[in-house]
Amino acid sequence: MSKRATTNRRAYLKGLGVSLALPLFDSLGWADTKAKPPVRLGFMYMPHGVIMDQFWPATAESFRSAPPPALESLRPVLDQCLMMKGISGVPISPFNGAPHALELSTWLTATLPAADKRNEINIAISADQIAANHVGAFTALPSLELATMAQTWKENQEGLNEGYYSHCSFRSPTQAVPAEVNPRNVLDRLFSRQQPAGGARAASPLSGLDRSLLDIVLGGARDLRRTLPVSDQRKLDEYLDSVRSVERRIAAIEVRQKDAALEKAGVRASQRNASDSPPIEIRIPEGDKRSEYMQVMCDLNVLAFQTDTTRVSTYIGSTPNGASYPELGFNDQHHSNTHHNQDPEKVRKIARITEFNIAQFAYMVKKMAGLREAGGTLLDNCIMMWGSGLEDGNQHTRENLPFIIAGQGGGSLKSGRFYAATKGNQGDLLTTLLACAGIPIDRPVGIATKQFEEIKA
Amino acid sequence: MDGAVRISLAFSLVLGLVPGRALAADHGALKADAEEFFRGRVTPFVTNYCLPCHQNRRPTRAGVNFSPALKDPGHAAFTEQWKRGAARVKAHDMPPKNAPQPDEADRQMFGDWLAKLKYLSHQDPGPFVLRRLTKTEYGNTLHDLFGVEPSIADGLPDEVSGAGYLNSLSSLQLEQYLTIAEQVLRRMPPAVQRRLFGTPDPRQFARSLARKAYRRPPSEAELDVLMATFDLGKRNHLPYPQALRLMVKAILVSPQFLFITPAGENKSSNGIVPLDDYQLASRLSYLLWATMPDDELMALADRSTLHEPAVLKAQAKRLLDDRRSRALFDGFGAQWLSVGGLKRQVFDPKLFPQMTAPMRQAMYDEVRLFFESIVREDQSVIRFVDSDYTYLNETLATIYGLQQSVKGPAMRRVRLSDGHRGGVLGMPGVLAATSFPNRTSPVKRGVWVLEQVLGDHVPAAPPDVPALDKQDPAAVAKLTLRQRTELHRTNPVCANCHQILDPIGFGLEKFDAIGRWRERDSNGQPIDATGELPGGHRFSGPQDLKAILATRSSNVGRNLLERLLAYALGRKLEGYDEIVVDDLMEQLAADGYRMRPLIYGVVTSYPFTHRRVEEKGAIREQTRNN
């Protein structure tokens, strides 16, 4: 794509009355642009920690040659992974009785909830949403939130709001972002395609008329806002923010449709570079096998990144209330095995569950590694973090949180290494990853005090 | 936190040692006593031991400042601070070692103070924020407005209702609202379409639909907004009915539809105001029906009489008598009795092939019909624990061993002769919900009884539980579940809680993981369901346990009242709520904790009918980058 085309498209968007940076769509490749492909940032979660001696590599040297059992599935791409041991979680005092309410909610915030407002959601914007604030405007979706379990767990630890149990992504300190659990819905969203149930007619309900409609509704909402008390005004701000976000999304869809129409009319030749891989296919599984469910969500994440529909994702592989894994030959729930007290049978089960989860992550990053993009692979341009908010589910420790980071971040990360004696916390790590993704950091994430310069290329 | 405090509470609940709750008439005296105590004992303590570091002077240590709390100790904002302070002092964390130390009596006093704190709280309905309709409410409301199936909302994310409701709105949800609005227009039955779009005057159309959809009369300015969308349609050359449809879409994504908003601007800029009658109509209707107020409620709001206690109570009665009140079980009862997750709960299919979808449905329906019968027949809350009937169909009757007498798929009321059954403790749905996929969990069942029935709080197990038996795993493997679980009690850390939990759980051990009666466990060992609660209450099996619990009517009643009030308010209880509950408990005790007065008490209560308005004025609209 030439520089001029870029300018024209931006001008076109301005003409729509929406200030919007350049969206790049699946019909477009990266190879023939001057610009480097964007860095995409993804986070995938498993609760309850790992069996430490089966997770951490023995030495920096043996990391790739003799990886520990938990990492077996990643072996083909270990040269593109990095691990750091010695990253501590947020100290959870005064919420010592709430390890599970905090493992997920502190994971991307590196912050504790406000103690005097524990009833409500009051924490901090999460790293993924910080990134979305900076790069979200470039894509049809500012960010993508995926999960495999409904976020409805009712358990109250230390008086903390239930939402802390099942959310990792926070749009603002007071707003948890819900995740999508239905792969069909995600697919429809990525392609802005809604099938009316029972009907074959595919309609795109998000039209230019909708955008004008939302503009009018937005005006009415602002009038309402002026009549409300302060606390209600804040609540309405979430609404206004959501409306604006949908408006931008509609504008982006219109551009996409216009491009497609131009191409079809032969006005413009396809911009897709022949060397880039075509968008992957999505097959929604029929049964209820957990691996297939997790993998289709992985596929959707890959597709969203590949087509630059979004550049930021979170994927809650499961929530702390406990998935079960009948595929592994046992039905009991994840959490009930984590307090294993070294019982070999339970230890074995937790190790299997960890391997299983990492294998799903491996499935995703290996797929990315197989997709050509701009002379390299999609994975080259991603930073995919897998991890857990506890180190050891048995003792609830958080001294060496398990993290695996795959991808080179567009050449910003030194991969293929194990940093065996890191000193720092999860805020430091998140801040470093944001910096590598090119996100301007105006303040550190949560408890961060520094960045890990050693992992930067 | 301080496990010891809560554990001693557990003891006292089970033993019935909680001192009698104060009567309303005593409040004046109790308040005076609390003020006296505060001046005479607490103020000097805080001044001597806390203020040196934690006062109005920068920097305050650890961000803790006792100066404002001393000025207004009963303010809800400081409740948590008092609690945490007392816990730190009790644990000898505070004052720090190098500072002057209070004696033990003074430390004790600072903890006892918490019990008096509530009498200093101000009459306050608690925090109140505009509430978004839940997924269920949203679907039902669309059904009532447009005759579409409530399942039209199925694609929205599932959410927690009641206390803990997140009440937030993301772009994902808004986009779905827009999409669903489109589907509503497409799926509306023809009769509804004719009725709706037959209006020749667009402003009249907007006024009448918005009144229903906003659940209050729209302002002229709000109608102007809707007319602007109609004009947008005309500018885009849409025919008249299509332009009206555009207006419907605008209504369905407006905050006035998605949230319950006040009618008109509040006159007072600050302080506490009664809910307007339209908001009250919505609050009542969404609580008992999970849908929008009907014509009768709206008419009473028009006449501004709904807030009168007698009218409100009569309306609550009318709503409860209607079939739509099953929403109270689906939203509240199922959560309270833990059967909401039965459909998705995992059971080992080899061990429990009986757990089919129809079986799970029957288990859920049994609990639902039982709950509804207690509400309908205005029975005492104690019937939840101890009763002699239930609801079965043939599928579920196999669990009870009554398949000879109960035939067919329809659920019906069945009189029970077996004293172990009857009441939620003997219901398969509850027993299954508190089991593991492959076996019972006496600990989970014990916790369930303490928390869900008696309203106690059981602290989570400490993470650093030492291994049960390091010496001889083989010997442990041979023990029965009961013997193994009893090892808990050989460790003093565990014993505190487990000596209460375990006996209750084992009292129910003759019910297997899906609620079938059994004499032997899965290893063929005979089951010992005898036990003794601290204080010498001996029992043998569920029937005795039920009888013991049935004597705890004030605990059961208070628990249910607190849970229902929190659900109705959509928040956890705090501060002044405790006084509200005390007062209601006094009224309920007088006639045996019957269910209807309990519900009427909640819907006419001060926090349900009032709201606190934070200072008004312009805060800048928060905008974000993307």
Locate the domains of chain A by residue range.
Answer: 12-199+270-455
Helix pair angle (B357-376, B309-321), 10° resolution: 140
Q: Which residues of A touch B229 (CB under 8 A)?
A: 213, 216-217
Report yes or no: B118 and B578 within 8 Å, Cβ to Cβ.
yes
Q: Which residues of B touch A245 (CB under 8 A)?
A: 171, 174, 626
As given in the structure block, the two tokens for residue A71 are: 């990492």
Residue A43: strand pairing partners: A314, A385
Residue A65, CA distances (Å) to A335, B239, B577 in order = 32, 71, 63
Element (H, E) at A417: strand A417-419
Query: Could you tell me the pLDDT band of residue B122, with boundaries at 50, 70 and 90?
Result: confident
For residue A193, what pLDDT is reported?
52
What residue of A is the nearest CA neighbor of B268? A229
3-state secondary structure of B466: coil
Reported as a single tens digit per residue, the pLDDT across A33-85 is 456 889 999 999 999 999 999 999 999 989 999 999 999 999 999 999 999 99
CATH code for the part of the protein at A12-199+270-455: 3.40.720
Q: Give yes or no for a cis peptide into B95 (omega within 30° of 0).
A: yes
For residue B279, what pLDDT is reported?
95
Q: Percent of chain A scored above 90 by pLDDT?
A: 52
What residue of B is the nearest CA neighbor of A150? B158
Element (H, E) at B273: strand B271-274
Amino acid occupying residue A196: P
Torsions phi, psi for A417 (to 5 deg): -130, 155
Residue B597, CA distances (Å) to A94, B299, B591, B604 in order = 40, 25, 9, 10
pLDDT of A347 over the 70 cut: yes
More confident residue, B124 or A301: A301
Torsions phi, psi for A202 (to 5 deg): -85, 125
For residue A339, what pLDDT is reported?
84
Average pLDDT of B549-567?
Answer: 93
CB contact, 8 Å: B614 with chain A? yes
For residue B171, what pLDDT is reported?
84
Element (H, E) at B540: strand B537-540
Report yes or no: B515 and B432 within 8 Å, Cβ to Cβ.
yes
For residue B152, what pLDDT is reported?
95
As given in the structure block, the two tokens for residue B211 are: 């009144």
Report yes or no: B513 and B435 within 8 Å, Cβ to Cβ.
yes
The Cα–Cα gap between B85 and B95 comes to 10
∠ Cα B245 B247 B250 (to 5°)? 115
For residue B96, what pLDDT is reported?
84
How far is residue A144 CA from its own chain's centroid? Answer: 6
What residue of B is the nearest CA neighbor of A159? B572
What sign does the CA torsion over B231, B234, B240, B243 have?
Answer: negative
β-strands A424-425, B412-415 pairing: unpaired
Average pLDDT of B571-575?
Answer: 83
pTM of the predicted model, to two decimals? 0.83
Question: Which of A336-345, B399-408, B479-488 ranks highest by mean pLDDT?
Answer: B399-408
Question: Which residue in B416, B379, B382 sits closest to B401, CA to CA?
Answer: B416
Q: Which residues of B touch A126 (CB under 8 A)?
A: none
Question: Which DSSP string corresponds to A151-215?
Answer: S-----STT--THHHH---EEETTEEPP-B--HHHHHHHHTT-BPPTT----B----HHHHHHHH
The Cα–Cα gap between A373 and A359 comes to 24
pLDDT of B94 over the 80 cut: yes
β-strands B537-540, B530-533 pairing: antiparallel
For residue A26, what pLDDT is reported?
40
| Window from A234-243, A414-423, B468-477 with minimum mean pLDDT | B468-477
Instruction: Using the structure block, give the residue that is written with the tokens 């002699």.
Output: B388
Q: Which residues of A touch B227 (CB under 8 A)?
A: none
Q: Percent of chain B scored above 70 by pLDDT?
A: 88
Question: Which DSSP string corresponds to B402-449?
Answer: -TTT--SS--EEEE---TT-SSGGG-HHHHHHTS-SSS--HHHHHHHI
Residue A58: strand pairing partners: none
Element (H, E) at B603: helix B595-603
Instruction: Using the structure block, give the residue that is written with the tokens 């009937």.
Output: B389
pLDDT of B423 over the 60 cut: yes
Which DSSP letter does residue A282 get?
Answer: -
Question: Which residue in B534, B530, B527, B469 sits closest to B495, CA to CA?
Answer: B534
The Cα–Cα gap between A451 and A427 comes to 9
For residue A196, what pLDDT is reported?
39
3-state secondary structure of A48: coil
3-state secondary structure of A19: coil
More confident residue, B468 or A294: A294
Torsions phi, psi for B112 (to 5 deg): -60, -30
Q: Which residues of B touch A227 (CB under 8 A)?
A: 265-266
ipTM of the complex: 0.82
Q: Give yes or no for a cis peptide into A94 (omega within 30° of 0).
A: yes
Report yes or no: B575 and B121 within 8 Å, Cβ to Cβ.
yes
**Contact across the interface for B178 and A210, Cβ inside 8 Å:** yes
The Cα–Cα gap between A177 and B159 comes to 12
Helices (H) and strands (E) in chain B, counts: 30, 8
Reported as a single tens digit per residue, the pLDDT across A118-157 is 888 999 999 999 999 998 888 888 899 999 988 887 777 7
3-state secondary structure of A117: helix
What sign does the CA torsion over A23, A27, A33, A35 have?
Answer: positive
> Half-sphere exposure of residue A304, counting CA atoms within 13 Å on the CB side?
32
Report yes or no: A403 and A108 within 8 Å, Cβ to Cβ.
no
Residue B211, CA distances (Å) to A246, B215, B222, B296, B342 in order = 26, 6, 11, 14, 39
Helical segments of B157-201, H only: 171-187, 190-197
pLDDT of B87 over the 90 cut: no
| Window from A136-150, A392-406, B134-148, B455-469 with minimum mean pLDDT | B455-469
Average pLDDT of A86-104?
Answer: 88
Average pLDDT of B540-557?
Answer: 91
Surface-to-core class of residue A80, CB atoms within 10 Å of its CB (0-12 exposed, 13-18 middle, 19+ buried): buried
Q: A-contacting residues of B 571-600, CB under 8 Å?
A: 571-572, 574
Instruction: Using the structure block, give the residue that is written with the tokens 């609830």.
Output: A396
**Contact across the interface for A216 and B464, Cβ inside 8 Å:** no
The Cα–Cα gap between B562 and B457 comes to 13
**Contact across the interface for B460 and A157, Cβ inside 8 Å:** yes
As given in the structure block, the two tokens for residue A33 are: 């642009």
What residue of B is the nearest CA neighbor of A325? B346
Query: Could you tell me the pLDDT band of residue A197, with boundaries at 50, 70 and 90?
Result: very low
Selected residue of A103, A236, A288 to mutate for chain B interface (largest B Cβ count, 10 A): A236
∠ Cα B183 B184 B190 (to 5°)? 115
For residue B227, what pLDDT is reported?
96
Average pLDDT of A318-336?
Answer: 86
pLDDT of A362 over the 80 cut: yes
Report yes or no: A394 and A78 within 8 Å, Cβ to Cβ.
no
Q: How does the average pLDDT of chain A come out, rounded?
A: 84
What residue of A is the nearest CA neighbor of B566? A119
Residue B545: strand pairing partners: none
Query: Could you tell me the pLDDT band of residue A247, with boundaries at 50, 70 and 90?
Result: confident
More confident residue, B346 or B534: B346
Torsions phi, psi for B372 (to 5 deg): -65, -35
Report yes or no: B372 and B410 within 8 Å, Cβ to Cβ.
no
Surface-to-core class of residue A29, CB atoms within 10 Å of its CB (0-12 exposed, 13-18 middle, 19+ buried): buried
CB contact, 8 Å: B617 with chain A? yes
Q: Which residues of B touch A225 (CB under 8 A)?
A: 621
The Cα–Cα gap between B407 and B397 comes to 8
pLDDT of B170 over the 90 cut: no
| Window from A247-256, B19-28, B500-509, B541-550 with minimum mean pLDDT | B19-28
3-state secondary structure of A120: coil
Amino acid occupying residue B421: R
Query: Could you tell me the pLDDT band of residue B166, with boundaries at 50, 70 and 90?
Result: confident
The Cα–Cα gap between A80 and A416 comes to 5
Question: Which residue in B442, B454, B585, B507 sits closest to B9, CA to CA?
Answer: B454
pLDDT of A251 over the 90 cut: no
pLDDT of B504 over the 60 cut: yes
Reported as a single tens digit per residue, the pLDDT across A5-47 is 333 333 333 333 332 333 334 444 444 445 688 999 999 999 9
Average pLDDT of B379-383?
Answer: 96
Instruction: Using the structure block, give the residue that is written with the tokens 């206004």.
Output: A240
Query: Could you tell me the pLDDT band of residue B622, with boundaries at 50, 70 and 90?
Result: low
The Cα–Cα gap between A74 and A358 comes to 8
Reported as a single tens digit per residue, the pLDDT across B278-334 is 999 999 999 999 999 999 999 999 999 999 999 999 999 999 999 999 999 999 999
CB contact, 8 Å: B179 with chain A? yes
For residue A333, what pLDDT is reported?
85
Instruction: Using the structure block, give the residue that is written with the tokens 């409040």.
Output: B27
Report yes or no: A422 and A100 within 8 Å, Cβ to Cβ.
no
Amino acid occupying residue A329: G
As given in the structure block, the two tokens for residue A154 are: 């009712």
Query: Could you tell me the pLDDT band of residue B561, with boundaries at 50, 70 and 90?
Result: very high
For residue B625, what pLDDT is reported?
45
What residue of A is the nearest CA neighbor of B351? A331
**Contact across the interface for B160 and A162, Cβ inside 8 Å:** yes
Element (H, E) at A387: strand A382-387
β-strands A424-425, A87-88 pairing: parallel
